Structure 1
Amino acid sequence: MPSLPLIKISCMPSRPTAISTGLMLLFLVSTPILSHAAEPDSPILYENRVRTILNNKCVRCHGPSEKKAGLDLSTPRGILKGSESGRILQGGAVDESLLFQMIEADEMPPEEKDRLSATERETIRAWIQTGAHFRESVKAIPAVTQHDIIPLLHLRCVACHGGRRQEAGLDLRTRQSIMKGGKSGPVVVSGNPEASLLIQRIKAAEMPPRRKLVSVSVKPMEANELERLSQWIQLGLPEVNDSEMTESETLVSEDDRQFWSFQPPIRVEPPHVKQQHRVQNPIDAFIIKKLEDKGLTLAPPADKRTLIRRLSIDLTGLPPTPEEIDQFLNDEDPQSYENLVDRLLASPRYGERWARHWLDVVGYADSEGAQNEDKLRPHMYRYRDYVIRALNEDKPYSRFLQEQIAGDELVDYQSGNITPEVYDCLVATGFLRTAPDRTFANITNFVPDRLEVISDEIQILGSAVMGLTIKCARCHSHKFDPIPQSDYYRLTAIFKAAYDEHDWLKSQGPRTLSHVSQEEHQKYQEHERKLSRQQGLLQKKLTQLDPTKPDYQQKSTEVKKQIADLKDQHWPAPRIRALWSRESPSPTYIYKRGNYLTPGRPVEPGVPAVLTSADESIKFDQVSPDGKPIGRRLLFARWLTQPDHPLTARVIVNRIWLHHFGRGIVNTPGNFGRAGERPSHPELLDWLATEFVRQNWSMKAIHKLMVTSSTYRQSSDISDEAARLDPTGSLLSRMPLKRMEAEVLRDSLLAICGQLDETPFGPADPVEARADGLVTSRRGKAGWRRSIYVLQRRTKIPTLLENFDFPQMGPNCIQRGESLVAPQALHLMNNEMIHQLAVYLAGNIQNTVGDDREQQIQQIYLRALGREPDPEETRIGLETLQLLEEKWNTQLNNKQSSSNSVQKALSSYCHAIFNLAEFQYID
Structure 2
Amino acid sequence: MKAKWLAIGGGVAVIALSSFSVLGLFSEPVDFNTQIKPILNKNCIACHGGVKKASDFSLLFKEEALAPAKSGHPAIIPGDADGSELIRRLSLTDPDERMPLDAPPLKPEEIELLRKWVDQGAEWGDHWAYQTPDNPNVPSIGTVWSRLGLSQHPETDWATNEIDQFVLEKLREKGLTVSPMADKATLLRRVSLDLTGLPPTEAEVKTFMANSSPQAYENAVDRLLASPAFGEKWAGMWLDLARYADTKGYERDPGRTIWRYRDYLIRAFNSDKPYDQFLTEQLAGDLLPAATDEQLIATGFHRNTMNNDEGGTQDEEFRVAALLDRVSTTWDVFQGTTFACVQCHSHPYDPFRHEEYYKYMAFFNNARDEDVTSETPTLRFYKGADSIQLNQLTTYLKRSIRDPQKANAEVRRVQLMARTMEPKINSHAFDQYVNASLLDAKYFGVQHQGSARIPNVTLTGLPRLYIAWGTNADDAQLTFRLDSPTGRVLATAPVPKTGSSWSDSIQVVPLPPVSGKHHIYLSLSSPTKPKEWTMIKWVSFQSTMAAPAETLLLSLLNKNPEQTPIMLDGQGDLARTTHVFTRGSWLTPGKAVQPDVPHALPPMDTDEQTLPRNRLGLARWMTRPDHPLTARVAVNRFWEQLFGAGIVETVEDMGTQGSQPTHRELLDWLAVTFIEDDHWSMKQLLKRMVLSSTYRQQANATPQQLAVDPFNRYYARGPRVRLAAEQVRDQALAVSGLLSRKMYGPSVMPPQPDGIWQSPYNGESWVQAQGDDKYRRALYTYWKRTSPYPSMITFDSPSREFCQIRRLRTNTPLQALVTLNDPVYVEAAQRLADYMTKHGTTPDAQIQAGFRRIMLRDLAPKKLAVLTRLYTTTEAWYTQHPAEANKLLATASALPKQAALTVTANAMMNLDEVITKE
Output the TM-score relative to the length of structure 1: 0.63
SS in 1 for 2:256: coil
Give the RMSD, CA atoms, in angstroms: 3.5
SS in 2 for 1:917: coil
> 1:774, 1:321 → 2: CA distance?
35
Structure of higher CA gyration radius = 1
Aligned to 1:911: 906
SS in 2 for 1:600: strand
Q: Is the 8 A contact 1:423 1:515 kept in 2?
A: no
Which structure shows the higher helix fraction?
1
Aligned to 1:279: 159
1:667 to partner: Cα distance: 0.8
Q: Is the 8 A contact 1:860 1:910 kept in 2?
A: yes
Q: Pick one of 801, 823, 842 that aligns with 1:832.
A: 823
Q: 1:493–1:486: structure 2 CA closer, same or farther, 3 Å change rule?
A: same
Q: Is the 8 A contact 2:596 2:613 kept in 1?
A: no
Q: Pick one of 179, 187, 193 that aligns with 1:307.
A: 187
SS in 1 for 2:579: strand
Q: Is the 8 A contact 2:198 2:727 kept in 1?
A: yes
> 2:386, 2:209 → 1: CA distance?
45
1:255 to partner: Cα distance: 6.9
> 1:69, 1:490 → 2: CA distance?
26
Residue 722, structure 1, aligned to residue 710, structure 2: no
> 2:386, 2:812 → 1: CA distance?
46
Whichever residue aligns with residue 839 of structure 2, its letter is: V
Aligned to 2:692: 709
Residue 513, structure 1, aligned to residue 513, structure 2: no
Whichever residue aligns with residue 305 of structure 2, its letter is: A
Q: Is the 8 A contact 2:604 2:621 kept in 1?
A: no
> 1:404, 1:720 → 2: CA distance?
47
Alignment of 1:868-907 (within 5 A): 868-874=858-864, 876-892=866-882, 900-907=895-902
Whichever residue aligns with residue 272 of structure 1, its letter is: S
SS in 2 for 1:919: coil
Whichever residue aligns with residue 849 of structure 2, its letter is: Q
Aligned to 1:685: 667
Q: Pick one of 608, 612, 627 that aligns with 1:645.
A: 627
Whichever residue aligns with residue 842 of structure 1, its letter is: A
SS in 1 for 2:63: coil
Aligned to 2:203: 323
Cα deviation code 1:721-745 (max 9, x no counterpart): 2122212211111123211111101
Residue 435, structure 1, aligned to residue 314, structure 2: no
Q: Is the 8 A contact 2:363 2:595 kept in 1?
A: yes
Whichever residue aligns with residue 381 of structure 1, its letter is: W
Cα deviation code 1:779-828 (max 9, x no counterpart): 43124111100011111212111111111224111110111111111222
Q: Is the 8 A contact 2:644 2:721 kept in 1?
A: yes
Aligned to 2:324: 455
> 2:685, 2:909 → 1: CA distance?
33
SS in 2 for 1:333: coil
Aligned to 2:793: 802
1:456 to partner: Cα distance: 1.1
SS in 1 for 2:157: helix
Whichever residue aligns with residue 63 of structure 2, its letter is: E
Q: Is the 8 A contact 1:257 1:610 kept in 2?
A: no
Cα deviation code 1:60-97 (max 9, x no counterpart): 5599983599999999xxxxxxxxxxxxxxxxxxxxxx
Aligned to 1:264: 132
1:644 to partner: Cα distance: 2.0
1:892 to partner: Cα distance: 2.3
Q: Is the 8 A contact 1:301 1:715 kept in 2?
A: yes
SS in 1 for 2:169: helix
How many residue pairs end up in the alignment?
Answer: 628
> 2:382, 2:625 → 1: CA distance?
33
Cα deviation code 1:627-680 (max 9, x no counterpart): xx9561111111001112100000010000001001000111111111111111
Q: 1:518–1:713: structure 2 CA closer, same or farther, 3 Å change rule?
A: farther
Cα deviation code 1:322-377 (max 9, x no counterpart): 111111111111111001111111111111111111111221122111x2111211
> 1:519, 1:651 → 2: CA distance?
47
Aligned to 1:696: 679
Whichever residue aligns with residue 272 of structure 2, its letter is: D
Alignment of 1:503-542 (within 5 A): 504=370, 506=372, 508-514=374-380
Q: 1:509–1:784: structure 2 CA closer, same or farther, 3 Å change rule?
A: same
Q: 1:899–1:498: structure 2 CA closer, same or farther, 3 Å change rule?
A: closer
Q: Pick one of 648, 655, 658 that aligns with 1:673.
A: 655
> 1:838, 1:760 → 2: CA distance?
24
> 1:898, 1:651 → 2: CA distance?
57
1:689 to partner: Cα distance: 0.2
Whichever residue aligns with residue 901 of structure 1, its letter is: P
1:844 to partner: Cα distance: 3.1
Q: 1:483–1:516: structure 2 CA closer, same or farther, 3 Å change rule?
A: farther
Alignment of 1:55-204 (within 5 A): 61=58, 66=63
1:862 to partner: Cα distance: 1.4
> 1:69, 1:591 → 2: CA distance?
28
1:319 to partner: Cα distance: 1.1
Q: 1:517–1:583: structure 2 CA closer, same or farther, 3 Å change rule?
A: farther
> 2:305, 2:867 → 1: CA distance?
50
1:317 to partner: Cα distance: 0.9
Whichever residue aligns with residue 827 of structure 1, its letter is: V
Q: Is the 8 A contact 1:778 1:784 kept in 2?
A: no
Q: Is the 8 A contact 1:454 1:499 kept in 2?
A: no
Cα deviation code 1:422-467 (max 9, x no counterpart): 01100000111122221x4673234322211111111111100011
Whichever residue aligns with residue 256 of structure 2, its letter is: R
1:891 to partner: Cα distance: 2.0
Whichever residue aligns with residue 316 of structure 2, its letter is: V
Whichever residue aligns with residue 791 of structure 1, its letter is: Y
Whichever residue aligns with residue 301 of structure 2, its letter is: F
Aligned to 2:18: none
Q: Is the 8 A contact 2:368 2:377 kept in 1?
A: no
Alignment of 1:385-424 (within 5 A): 385-413=263-291, 422-424=292-294
1:778 to partner: Cα distance: 2.9
1:719 to partner: Cα distance: 1.5
Alignment of 1:213-232 (within 5 A): none
> 2:657, 2:196 → 1: CA distance?
34
> 1:797, 1:293 → 2: CA distance?
46
SS in 2 for 1:610: coil
Aligned to 1:245: none
Whichever residue aligns with residue 217 of structure 2, its letter is: Y
Residue 485, structure 1, aligned to residue 354, structure 2: yes
Q: Is the 8 A contact 2:281 2:299 kept in 1?
A: yes
Q: Is the 8 A contact 1:62 1:71 kept in 2?
A: no
Whichever residue aligns with residue 748 of structure 2, its letter is: D
Q: Structure 1: where are the runs of 5+ without partners?
A: 1-55, 76-110, 116-253, 414-421, 526-570
1:499 to partner: Cα distance: 5.6
1:849 to partner: Cα distance: 2.5
Whichever residue aligns with residue 688 of structure 1, its letter is: L
1:837 to partner: Cα distance: 2.0
Q: Is the 8 A contact 1:383 1:428 kept in 2?
A: yes
Q: 1:61–1:721: structure 2 CA closer, same or farther, 3 Å change rule?
A: closer
> 1:777, 1:459 → 2: CA distance?
35
SS in 1 for 2:590: strand
Which structure shows the higher strand fraction?
2
Residue 849, structure 1, aligned to residue 849, structure 2: no
Whichever residue aligns with residue 571 of structure 2, its letter is: E
Cα deviation code 1:226-270 (max 9, x no counterpart): xxxxxxxxxxxxxxxxxxxxxxxxxxxx97762101111111121
Kindly, what percent of the aligned residue pairs are identical?
35
Q: Is the 8 A contact 2:751 2:769 kept in 1?
A: no
Alignment of 1:459-470 (within 5 A): 459-470=328-339
Q: Pick one of 355, 358, 361 that aligns with 2:238.
A: 358
SS in 2 for 1:326: helix
SS in 1 for 2:362: helix
Aligned to 1:633: 615
> 2:819, 2:247 → 1: CA distance?
28
